[in-house]
Structure 1
Amino acid sequence: MTVQHTAHLVVLDMAGTTVADDGLVEESFRAAAAHVGEDPASMLDHVRATMGESKIAVFRHLLGGDETRAREANAAFERAYAERVDADRIAPVPGAAETIAALRESGRTVVLSTGFARVTQDAILDALGWRDLADLTLCPADAGGRGRPYPDLVLTALLRTRAADDVRHVAVAGDTAYDMLSGVRAGAGIVAGVLTGAHDKDRLTAHGATHVLASVVELPDLIDGLRS
């Protein structure tokens, strides 16, 4: 019997993968660090290395596990990002909206996931007019609080949508090493890195990317080409 190795569920990252945010992540981290009396420059290397991770987890690491200060910094980050989100600073990665629409029109279920809190994710969706673009949107709180590099967001997408009966029929796409780790740990059949965001081909591949694409626009053709 021939098995169709295709994706019925597609889980897409937002910032850097489907959304271009004009450097707002780093800008907001700088504001948050200053808010809690830390030197932003001392934090940025870790911030860049862990792009894609839940932001509260990043602050816990940077602030030595101090939960109170981590939560304060995370709240400051979310405020700073939300204050800056508007149509002038946020835009779709070229072709991303059309790609999501095409994936859904082909019968696939599409989930947008993020390491941001829900309030920030919603601000981005509103700025883009994307509230109804995907079948489902998820943030770490929707997955029990654990974001990437854990597999929870991908597995939550599968459980919530019931779009596939095998994790190998899930495709994950993102621009960071943590996106790749999350997809690999979830058992996704396709873990595609894209070069429109934080990390380069070598880093994406080293963290488990099965494919590296110039942009998310190439994902439908990749999925269709892997049918056997």
Structure 2
Amino acid sequence: MIELAVFDMAGTTIDEHGAVYEALRHAVESTGATVDPHDLQTWMGTDKREAIDALVRLGGGTPDADLVERQYGEFRAFLKKRYEEVPPEPIAEADKALAVLRARGIKVALTTGFSDDVALPLLASLGWSTGEGGNLDAVVTSDEVVRGRPAPYMIHRAMEKAGVVDVRKVLVAGDTAVDLQAGHHAGAGVVVGVLTGQLPRTALEGEPHTYVLDSVAQVPDLAETATAE
């Protein structure tokens, strides 16, 4: 039986109405670089500073550290404005799924390509938190690891925080290619793609996976998350 479920945030457990895509595109295009939709999708789910650097280069620019930091500020400001206009909300039935898993003794962690200053206020706006009375056992942001997805480090950090030592008893779920690649690289026992993001089923099925589901709401239906007899 799975001991820890590690979920991505935006597009997987949280519906932020495409704001991250818009903010990342804005941050890159405002440098004068062009953004190919395929490249944008490829870099979704990664550390946002890494994504800005890569997308500016792919779009014909020559970023340095100062430009990346400046455009990350643009990303944050754009995202904050969009969140104020259209507040994020849980993916349908996602909060219920998290509660069901925890009631079965499965710990729940969230990982994200956001830094603390973006991720933590977003979770607070939903009333999601760790600690006593919270609905999560761990949250891992891009600030806590030397490299974000598709590296496995956020998943392993979530295991460390949750006190889980066997990667075979970890389920990883996300809506992007790098989510599934990170789960595979981490050695997770179950890797789940969900269709609540921007990628179609065929794209997710082209990545390492155990299941592709319509939503995280279906994760408690998997045999691996069922209550042991």
TM-score, normalisation: structure 2? 0.88
Residue 80, structure 1, aligned to residue 78, structure 2: yes
Closer/same/farther in 2, CA of residues 187 and 226 from structure 1, 3 Å limit: farther
Instruction: Give how far 1:225 is off.
Output: 5.6
* Residue among 85, 88, 91 paired with 2:89: 91
Residue 59, structure 1, aligned to residue 52, structure 2: yes
Check the 8 A contact 2:21/2:44 in 1, yes or no.
Answer: no
Deviates more, 1:49-58 or 1:8-17: 49-58
SS in 1 for 2:109: strand
Q: 1:117-196 to 2 correspondence within 5 Å? A: 117-131=115-129, 132-144=134-146, 146-162=147-163, 164-196=164-196
Distance 2:103 2:85 in 1: 26
Distance 1:184 1:30 in 2: 28
Closer/same/farther in 2, CA of residues 51 and 227 from structure 1, 3 Å limit: farther
Check the 8 A contact 1:82/1:123 in 2, yes or no.
Answer: no
Q: Deviations over 1:59-86 (max 9, x none)?
A: 1112335222112111211222123224
Instruction: Give how far 1:134 is off.
Output: 0.9
SS in 2 for 1:191: strand
Distance 1:87 1:95 in 2: 23
Distance 1:214 1:181 in 2: 19
| Alignment root-mean-square deviation, CA | 2.0
Check the 8 A contact 1:87/1:127 in 2, yes or no.
Answer: no
Instruction: Give how far 1:14 is off.
Output: 0.6
Distance 2:228 2:206 in 1: 25
SS in 2 for 1:137: strand
Aligned residue number for residue 3 of structure 1: none
Deviates more, 1:99-108 or 1:73-82: 73-82
Aligned residue number for residue 22 of structure 2: 27
SS in 2 for 1:42: coil
Aligned residue number for residue 11 of structure 2: 16
Letter matched to residue 33 of structure 1: V
Instruction: Give how far 1:203 is off.
Output: 1.7
Aligned residue number for residue 218 of structure 2: 218
Distance 1:43 1:68 in 2: 23
SS in 2 for 1:127: helix
Instruction: Give how far 1:44 is off.
Output: 4.0
Distance 1:79 1:91 in 2: 19
Letter matched to residue 166 of structure 1: D
Instruction: Give how far 1:204 is off.
Output: 1.4
* Residue among 11, 31, 39 paired with 1:46: 39
* Residue among 90, 105, 114 paired with 2:112: 114
Instruction: Give how far 1:51 is off.
Output: 1.4
Structure 2: runs of 5+ lacking an equivalent: 58-62
Closer/same/farther in 2, CA of residues 122 and 11 from structure 1, 3 Å limit: same
Instruction: Give how far 1:34 is off.
Output: 4.7
Structure 1: runs of 5+ lacking an equivalent: 1-5
Q: Deviations over 1:133-168 (max 9, x none)?
A: 211111111123x11110000011111221x33110
Closer/same/farther in 2, CA of residues 43 and 67 from structure 1, 3 Å limit: farther
Instruction: Give how far 1:87 is off.
Output: 8.2
Distance 1:29 1:187 in 2: 29
Aligned residue number for residue 60 of structure 2: none
Closer/same/farther in 2, CA of residues 135 and 213 from structure 1, 3 Å limit: same
Show structure 1 runs of 4+ deviating over 4 A: 225-228
Q: Deviations over 1:187-206 (max 9, x none)?
A: 00000000111212222122
